[in-house]
Amino acid sequence: MNLLLLERAEIDPLGRARVRERRAEHLIGVLRIRVGDELRIGVIGGPMGTATVAQVANDRVDLEVRLLASSPPPPDVELILAVPRPKALSRVVQHAAALGVRRLDLVNAWRVEKSYFASPRLDLPALRHHALLGCEQGSTTWLPEIRVHQLLLPFLMNVLGPRLAQAPSPRCLLAHPESEQYVEEAAPIGPGEATVVAIGPEGGWITEELASFTELGFVPVALGRGVLRVEAAVTALLAQLELCRRVSARKSSDGGFGCP
Amino acid sequence: MNLLLLERAEIDPLGRARVRERRAEHLIGVLRIRVGDELRIGVIGGPMGTATVAQVANDRVDLEVRLLASSPPPPDVELILAVPRPKALSRVVQHAAALGVRRLDLVNAWRVEKSYFASPRLDLPALRHHALLGCEQGSTTWLPEIRVHQLLLPFLMNVLGPRLAQAPSPRCLLAHPESEQYVEEAAPIGPGEATVVAIGPEGGWITEELASFTELGFVPVALGRGVLRVEAAVTALLAQLELCRRVSARKSSDGGFGCP
C-alpha cells in the first residue's frame, strides 16, 4: 500500500477519518504506524493529501486529514478486455488500476470460456476490491469504472460505438501479435489525448470480432515480437502508451525521442 | 504453447524427435494435434523450424523436424532482479522469458525477505521449467541463463562488474519510481545495443544498494507515474525497452518517433 485510499464520506467536516478492518490491519500490522506519523492519502476519485495518525487502537486507526485543493487529472486510457481466466483476472485488474485506467470493460468473446462468467471473481464487488488494491499500489486516486458485458456485439454497437462517436474521438488500439505496427507507429498520441485499448482472449479474437473492432476505428498493434499472456499484454500495452505519452509531451519542448 | 521447444539432443540425425509427458499431453489434450499436422517448433538456444506430426500415441508424439539454417539473434537484454515473493517468482520468470531476456540474475537485497531463499521455487530446475513455459508462450528459442546470488555485493563486484567492463559495454538501467527520467531519456538505445536492467524488491533498494549500482554506471529510470508490483515492473520495463529499440531501428530509415 503506497497510498491509503478513503471514501469521501469517510472524512467528517472537521477532516477526521477512521479506518478499520483491512486498511487498519495493514497500517498497524505491516506499516507499523504510530501516533503522529504522516501518511500519504487520497480520496477515491478525488484529491491526494496527507494524514496524521491521531489514534491507534486494536482494530482501528484515527486520522487527521489534509487534502490538496485539486484532484489529479483522470487517466486518459480506457481498457476493453476479453474476460481472462479467473486466476489471472484479479491480478490483471490490479495491474491495470495501478497503471491507471479510467474505465475497464470486461467483455465476452468467441474464445472466452463460458465458465469464466460463473466465477465469483467477476462479481463487481470483487473487481472493485482488486481495483482498489491496484490504486493503493500505484498511488492513484482514480478507481476505474468497471463493467462486465456478457455479449460482445451489443457492447460494441450500443455502448462503445456511441461513446466513440462523441468528440473528441479517442485513439483506438487493438493488441494483435500479428500486426506489423507498434504503438508509436500506429497511433501517434498527443499529450492528454484519450486512448481506448482492446486486448483479446489468449487464443486471440476471431476474424469477425477483429472486423467489428476495425469498423469502429481500432488499429491493430503488436507489443513485441512474441505472444504474451493477457496479464503481461495489459501491462506491456499500458506501459508503452505511458512512454509514448511522455515522449510526446517532451517532444514539444526539446524535439523528441532520445534514441540515436 | 505457441512454440514447441526441443532440446538439440532430442532430434536424431534423420530429423526425428519424440516428445512425451507435459509436451505430449499438451499437444494431444489441448492442441488436439493429429498425424500430418504441422507445428512451429524451435531448438532451445538454436533455430526455429517446423515439424510434421508422424505418429500420436497415448503418451507420446513423434515428429519429423525441419530446422531453419540460422538461429534468431539472442535477446539483447539481461535482467537483474531482487528475488520476489515466491508466489510471484514463477510468473515473473515466465513473463521475462516470454519477452526475451538473455540472462536472469536473481539477487538478494536488504529488503528481500530471507525466507524467500528457502522456497523450492528458487531451485534452478523449477526456474528453468518456468522459463521454458515463458519461451513457449513468447515463441522464442532463447532460454535465459538463470543464476541465483545469495549475496548482492559479491555479485556486483565479482560477477557483474567484470562483465560490464568488457567492450562493448551495455547500457545499464535501474528501475526507480522516484527517477525523473523515463527509459528513452535516460538511455538512448541503438539497434542491437545490449542493455542490463535491474529491478529491486517491492520496498525498493536501500541507499547503499542504489549507490553500488550507480557506481557501476546504472541510470535510474521511472516506468510510469506510480509504483508497480515486481511482475508488472518487469513486464513494463521490458516492453518499454522493446518499443525504444523498435523506434531506434526505424529512426535510421524514416526519422523517428511518430508522436506529434
CB contact under 8 A, A184 and B226: no
Q: Is A73 on the interface with B (CB under 8 A)?
A: no
Determine the Cα–Cα distance for residues A260 and B190; give it in Å rounded to an integer: 6
Residues 6+ apart with CB under 8 A from B164: B170, B172, B196, B216, B217
**B182:A235 CB<8 A:** no
Listed as own residue / partner, the contacts of B117-121 with beta carbons closer than 8 Å and 24 or more positions apart are B117/B83, B117/B150, B119/B86, B119/B89, B121/B86, B121/B89, B121/B90
> Which residues in chain A have Cβ-Cβ distances shorter than 8 Å to B100?
224-226
Give the residue with greater pLDDT, A249 vs B161: B161
pLDDT classification of A246: cutoffs 50, 70, 90: confident
- What residue of B is the nearest CA neighbor of A182? B243
* Domain limits, chain B: 4-67, 77-252
pLDDT of residue B260: 32
Asked if this assembly's ipTM is beyond 0.85, the reply is yes
Is B99:A224 a contact under the CB 8 Å cutoff?
A: yes
| A vs B: CB pairs below 8 A | 170
Nearest by CB to residue B235, choosing from A182, A227, A232, is A232
Give this prediction's pTM: 0.92
CB contact under 8 A, A239 and B226: no
**Residues of chain A found within 8 Å of residue B188, distances taken between Cβ atoms:** 258-260
Grid coordinates representing B256 are: 523517428
At B46, phi and psi to the nearest 5?
-135, -155
* pLDDT < 50 stretches in chain B: 256, 258-260
On whether any CB of chain A is under 8 Å from the CB of B236, the answer is yes
**Closest Cα in chain B, distance from residue A129 (Å):** 17
| CA R_g for chain A | 20
Residue contact A94–B229, C-beta within 8 A: yes
DSSP string for residues in A95-136: HHHHH--SEEEEE--TTS-GGGGG-GGGSHHHHHHHHHHHHH
Q: Which among A98, A100, A243 has CB closest to B243?
A: A243
Q: Which residue among A2, A138, A182 sits closest to B243, beta carbon to beta carbon?
A: A182
- Model confidence band, residue A216 (pLDDT cutoffs 50, 70, 90): very high
On chain A, the residues whose CB falls within 8 A of the CB of B32 are none
Contact between chains at A239 and B242 (C-beta distance less than 8 A): no
Size of chain B, expressed as the number of residues it contains:
260
Q: Is A225 on the interface with B (CB under 8 A)?
A: yes
pLDDT in tens, B41-76: 999 999 999 999 999 998 899 999 999 989 888 999
User: Which distant-in-sequence residues (6+ apart) come within 8 Å of A191 by Cβ?
Assistant: A245, A248, A249, A252
Q: Which of B31, B135, B243 to mutate to test the interface with A (most CBs of A within 10 A)?
A: B243
- Is A46 within 8 Å of A11 (Cβ atoms)? no
Q: Which CATH superfamily does the domain covering B77-252 fall into?
A: SPOUT methyltransferase, trefoil knot domain (3.40.1280.10)
Cβ pair A65, A207 in contact under 8 A: no
CA distances from A194 to A73, A77, A169, A186, A245 (A): 12, 6, 8, 15, 10
Interface membership of B240 toward A (CB under 8 Å): yes
d(CA A225, CA B48): 14
Whether residue A256 and residue B256 make contact (CB cut-off 8 A), yes or no, is: yes
pLDDT at B188: 67
Pair B258, A184: CB distance under 8 Å: yes
Please tell me the predicted confidence (pLDDT) of residue B258.
Answer: 43
Looking at residue A259, its pLDDT comes to 37
Put simply, the answer to whether B100 touches A224 (Cβ < 8 Å) is yes
Other CB atoms within 10 A of residue B118 CB: 9
A123 touches chain B (CB under 8 A): no
- Asked if B184 reaches chain A (Cβ–Cβ under 8 Å), the answer is yes
* Beta-bridge partners for B174: B198, B220
CA distance A130 to A230: 17
Is B77-252 in the same CATH topology as B4-67? no
Q: Please tell me the predicted confidence (pLDDT) of residue A247.
A: 84
Task: Give the CA-trace dihedral at A146, A77, A183, A208, to 10 degrees.
Answer: 40
Buried b (16+ CB within 10 A) or exposed e, B91-115: bbbbbbbbbbbbbbbbbbbeebeee
Using one digit for the tens of pLDDT, what is the confidence trace for A5-40? 999 999 999 999 999 999 999 999 999 999 999 999
One-letter amino acid at B243 equals: L
The amino acid at A146: I
Set of chain B residues whose Cβ sits within 8 Å of the Cβ of A183: 243
Residue A183 half-sphere exposure toward CB, CA atoms < 13 A: 29
Q: Quick count: other Cβ atoms within 10 Å of Cβ A170?
A: 19
Arithmetic mean of pLDDT, A143-151 = 97
CA dist B184 and A257 (Å) reads: 7
Query: Which CATH number is A77-253 given?
Result: 3.40.1280.10
Amino acid identity, position A196: V
Contact A107, A144 (CB under 8 A): no
In A, minimum Cα distance to B93 occurs at A232
Q: What topology does CATH give the domain A4-67?
A: Ribosomal Protein L25; Chain P (2.40.240)
